[in-house]
Amino acid sequence: MQGWIALENGSVFFGDSFGYPKTVEGELVFNTSMTGYQEALTDPSYAGQILMFTFPQIGNYGCNEENYESDRIQTKACIVKEWCRNPHQGEMDFDEWLKKEKIPGLEGIDTRELTIITRESGTLRAVMCTDGKLAPEEGIKKAKEMKWPSESNLVAQVSTKKSYKRGKKGPNVTLFDWGVKQSIVTNLAEKNRVTVVPWNYNVEQVMKTKPDLIFMSNGPGDPDHPDMKEVVETIQTLIKKYPTIGICLGHQILGLALGGETYKLKYGHRGGNQPVKHVKTETVYITSQNHGFALHKLPKKVKETFVNLNDGTCEGISSRNCWSVQFHPEAAPGPMDANVLFEKVGEMING
């Protein structure tokens, strides 16, 4: 069955539908990774978004539940140039997996042209239809009128509702789940006893977990969302009491807590090939990233530790007893250049 995606700028792209027949709306973003399609689609940082892959064929090694970064697909929909009909492994093919997760897919469109449009105009609101229940003209109108996903509290939607523990030995790490990838939990649990807590735990609740270190996760949406103000205030208090580390959204929240500001990037950084430079050593790392906002206007007490070599944006900061990075050191799958940063968790705890 034919499907289509309509953009707020009036563009409509037609393709072949697969996955679960449905009409959805969301923010169109693209990912440049060649592998890791399951990890990307199940990453809570993509909540509220329609994810397009720039790599020409997706699904060539099949789909398995062991590759999930959360308990389900988090994107609203998926767009590919082509999905692989005969994967060489896996329990399901890409179409079967999307059907199981009730997520619509669209293939056969010019993803290169759609990527160029997104890069030139910035991320766009979009409506995608694969069930024939809406006309493209109506889709354009709906796209222009819809709210940006980041206007909602996406963090509250994807965070755990109850605290849970992972790891059986080592120091106590309290991990804020703002949309955490399970590969982060797994990395931390190798050498630590990890308590994962909901997004809005207050200072008293965190102190009851008896942390040796606070770790702030990745997640979706606007770090400066009104509902996150109390979270920032909580972190302002906690960084005075405990060593603190942040990744992605955690990096942005730490920056806000230290007095910096955030802004929305034109089209974000999403993929496994983002080059960042360590300011002090000038070492370059190839990193995995997934974010649409960035830090700037940092106070003098905050050092910028990493910068993005593509656009010069802030990729890492440090201050007294705390540090953070915008990229994903766990990169599962992806470049392992920055995985060494997880070793610094123990160094922070041990002073």
Q: Which element (helix H / strand E) includes 175? A: strand 172-176
User: What single letter denotes the amino acid at residue 335?
Assistant: P
Per the structure block, which two tokens stand in for 232?
């920032």
Task: Pick the more confident residue, 114 or 350.
Answer: 114
Q: Is the dihedral of CA 345, 307, 269, 297 positive or negative?
A: positive
**How many CB atoms lie under 10 A from the CB of residue 269?**
24
User: What single letter denotes the amino acid at residue 342?
Assistant: F
Asked if pLDDT for residue 331 goes beyond 70, the answer is: no
Residue ranges of alpha helices (H) inside 42-197 are 94-101, 111-121, 136-145, 154-158, 182-189
Per-residue pLDDT tens over the stretch 269-317: 999 899 999 999 999 999 999 999 999 999 999 999 999 999 999 999 9
**pTM for the structure as a whole:** 0.95
Q: What share of the chain is helix, strand, coil (3-state, %, to 5)?
A: 30, 35, 40
Per-residue pLDDT tens over the stretch 163-213: 999 999 999 999 999 999 999 999 999 999 999 999 999 999 999 999 999
Domains belonging to the chain, first-starting first, are 2-148 (3.50.30.20), 154-349 (3.40.50.880)
Residue spans of beta strands (DSSP E) within 8-123: 12-19, 23-31, 49-53, 57-58, 77-80, 82-83, 104-107
* Positions marked active-site: 248, 328, 330
**pLDDT confidence of residue 339:** 67
Average pLDDT rounded to a whole number, residues 105-122 = 96
Please state, in angstroms and rounded to a whole number, the distance separating the CA atoms of residues 316 and 322.
11
Residue closest to 289 by CA, chosen among 323, 344, 327: 327
Q: Exposed/middle/buried for 124, CB within 10 Å: 0-12, 13-18, 19+?
A: buried
